[in-house]
Amino acid sequence: MAEPVIELKDVSFSAQNMDVVRNISYDFEGGKTTALVGPSGGGKSTVLKLAAGLLLPTSGKVLFRGQDISAMGRPQTLAFRRESAVVFQDSALWANQTLFQTLELPLKIHYPDMDKDERESRIAEVTAAVGYKRALHIRPALLSMGEQKLISFARALLCNPSILFLDEWTESLDDEAARRLVGIVRRRKADNNTILFISHDLEIIKELAEYVVMVIDGRLSLQVTGEEMEADRNVAKIVEKGISS
């Protein structure tokens, strides 16, 4: 068993006096791909954001390589952010910035010595990889939801992270675009990246997930390997029912 990269230690999270995540403990293995599944509103996106350090738990701890994320200083936090990237369900693009400015920002933060030509080259590389073909000097409001998702995915690739957090990352995409992104994730998986993803697409889960973790009502209700899900039709039915609700 590989060493955990992200560890949730008895983690709970509350918002607006409501318990969203309840006493979850789970180790995400380094170099493995884990699907977080479950019904809409069950808490899986919150679990992903906690694992990514975007939310701090109300109680419990989230560890990155053994270090409490909430206790990390600026250098450690920057290193974590450079090594990891998130694709948000709503894309989360800056409304008042052009696409180029949105994509350029992570490179300016994490690679301050990179010159403009290098930044432009890297941005062109990742946008071509995801299949985005329109201009970059426009704002997100001019894009379709699918195009926004492509830019969000391109942004996640910019710093070549070894940890990816993907929330409904193929949503709003046509089949061709979705398969392109699945192919990128498949290659990242082959390169032993650590990947946590949320999807309601059973075929994508079957294709990519080495582990499947179901979150219902803020609690872990099922933990299986992808192989176990493939081998046991009853388990597959539970997962299928969970992602369709």
Helices first, then strands: H and E counts in the chain: 9, 10
Show Cβ contacts of residue 127 under 8 Å, excluding neighbours closer than 6 positions. 103, 136, 150, 151, 154
Q: What is the pLDDT, as a whole number, of residue 202? A: 92
Q: Residue 1: what pLDDT?
A: 63
User: What domain range is 237 assigned to?
Assistant: 4-91+162-244
Sign of CA dihedral 245, 28, 197, 102: positive
Domain presence at residue 131? no
Do 33 and 192 contact (CB within 8 A), yes or no? no
Supply the CATH number for residue 216's domain.
3.40.50.300
- Whether 14 is covered by a domain: the verdict is yes
Residue 21 lies in a domain: yes
Residue 106 lies in a domain: no
- The predicted model scores a pTM of 0.96
- The pLDDT of residue 17: 86
pLDDT in tens, 40-63: 899 999 999 999 999 999 999 999
Where the chain has pLDDT below 50, the residues are none
Residue 50, SS3 per DSSP:
helix
From residue 152, give the alpha-carbon distance in Å to each of 63, 92, 126. Answer: 25, 7, 11
In-domain check, residue 81: yes
pLDDT for 236: 87
∠ CA(65), CA(83), CA(30), 5° rounding? 45
List b or e across 202-240, with b for residues whose CB sees 16 or more CB atoms inside 10 angstroms: bebbeebbebbbbbbebebebebebeebeeeeebbebbe
Name which of 30, 25, 27, 21 is nearest 9 in CA terms. 25
155 falls within a domain: no
Residue 126 lies in a domain: no
Q: Which helix (H) or strand (E) holds 38?
A: none
Count the domains in the chain. Answer: 1
Spatial neighbors of 121 by CB under 8 A, at least 6 apart, are: none
Q: Which residues contact 215 (CB under 8 A, 6 or more apart)?
A: 21, 24, 36, 37, 38, 42, 43, 44, 47, 221
Asked if the structure places residue 100 within a domain, the reply is no
pLDDT digits (tens, 9 = 90+) for 120-155: 999 999 999 999 999 999 999 999 999 999 999 999
Query: C-alpha distances in angstroms, 182 versus 40, 185, 220, 233?
Result: 22, 5, 26, 24
